Structure 1
Amino acid sequence: MMIAAVSAALLGSQLLVVPVSDRVPELKVEAMCKATTADDKANGIALPQSFADCMRDETTAQQQLNTVWGAAPSSLRNSCEVEATSGGSQSYVDLLTCIQMAEWVKSPSTATRLRGAGKDRNSK
């Protein structure tokens, strides 16, 4: 009888659990930013990204994700989360980019036009 009560309590508590994909996942981006900064310096990059700049980019991406996450299909959120956390690296920038790219592919006419650094880029 005790086992049945515990099982019922566990079953009931599972109904209150919010799936991870319903909210922006909590990523540990500090390690990735430290590794990126170290790699840039080790490879002699002329303008290496600082840890502070990396963290700022990740925080900005996380804030942007808070506005688009709920509108993205759960299958897309799940696949992008896997991509953004694979290989032991975790990045909100990667997660946001994945979702944005999928949206652009789905409806390119409504996507923001990206313009390169051509000499006539501001004339259109």
Structure 2
Amino acid sequence: MKIALLSMVMIGSQLVIPASDRIPKLDVEATCKATVAADNAANLVLSQDYAGCMRDENEAQAQLGGVWSTSPDSVRNTCVDEATAGGNDSYVDLLVCMQMAGWASAPAAPLKGASKVRNKK
């Protein structure tokens, strides 16, 4: 009975997974490697090395610790979706999204990391 009810609910609606009370584990290592490779292939003048990318991603993850638990689930869900779009996970993008939503203060120094908008200036 429970399985049938669950099946009927899932067929007619999207499965919504609420944000956790913990910051999600993002695969920023793979994203940083891909970002560095893409930057090198494009011969970008302002490219960032892997160590710098990982430093920015780790700093952004640390900054998220102060705001994650106090932000609403709707903001967390939206920002996680944005920060993982296209398989390019980025704590920098997650932090920026939360800053734009008004749930985090701006970092002392600008972070590039594996953000999808790092070379747009």
TM-score, length-normalised on structure 1?
0.66
2:40 corresponding residue in structure 1: 41
Provide the C-alpha distance between the structure 2 equivalents of 1:81 and 1:66, rounded to a whole number of angstroms. Answer: 14
Give runs of aligned pairs for residues 109-120 of structure 1, distance below 5 A: none
Give runs of aligned pairs for residues 17-28 of structure 1, distance below 5 A: 20-28=19-27
1:79 corresponding residue in structure 2: 78
Which of the pair has the greater relative contact order for Cα pairs under 8 Å at 6+ separation?
Answer: 2
Per mean C-alpha deviation after superposition, the further-off stretch among 25-34 and 40-49 is 40-49
1:101 corresponding residue in structure 2: 100
Structure 1: gaps of 5 or more residues? 1-18, 105-110, 113-124
Larger Rg: 1
1:59 Cα deviation from its structure 2 partner: 0.1
Runs of 4+ in 1 over 3 A off after TM superposition: none
1:48 Cα deviation from its structure 2 partner: 1.5
SS of alignment partner, residue 32 of structure 1: helix
Structure 2: gaps of 5 or more residues? 1-17, 107-121
1:86 Cα deviation from its structure 2 partner: 1.3
Instruction: Tell me the amino acid that sits aligned with residue 86 of structure 1.
Output: A
Provide the C-alpha distance between the structure 2 equivalents of 1:96 and 1:47, rounded to a whole number of angstroms. Answer: 22
Listed one character per residue, the Cα deviations across residues 32-89 of structure 1 (whole Å, up to 9, x for unaligned) are 1001101111111123200000000000000000111011111100110011111111
For the pair 1:30 / 2:29, whether they are aligned, the reply is yes
Aligned residues: 88
How big is the alpha-carbon RMSD for the aligned residues of Structure 1 and Structure 2? Answer: 1.7
Provide the C-alpha distance between the structure 1 equivalents of 2:32 and 2:67, rounded to a whole number of angstroms. Answer: 24
Provide the C-alpha distance between the structure 1 equivalents of 2:74 and 2:45, rounded to a whole number of angstroms. Answer: 40
Instruction: Tell me the amino acid that sits aligned with residue 79 of structure 1.
Output: T
1:64 corresponding residue in structure 2: 63
TM-score, length-normalised on structure 2?
0.68
Provide the C-alpha distance between the structure 2 equivalents of 1:72 and 1:23, rounded to a whole number of angstroms. Answer: 11
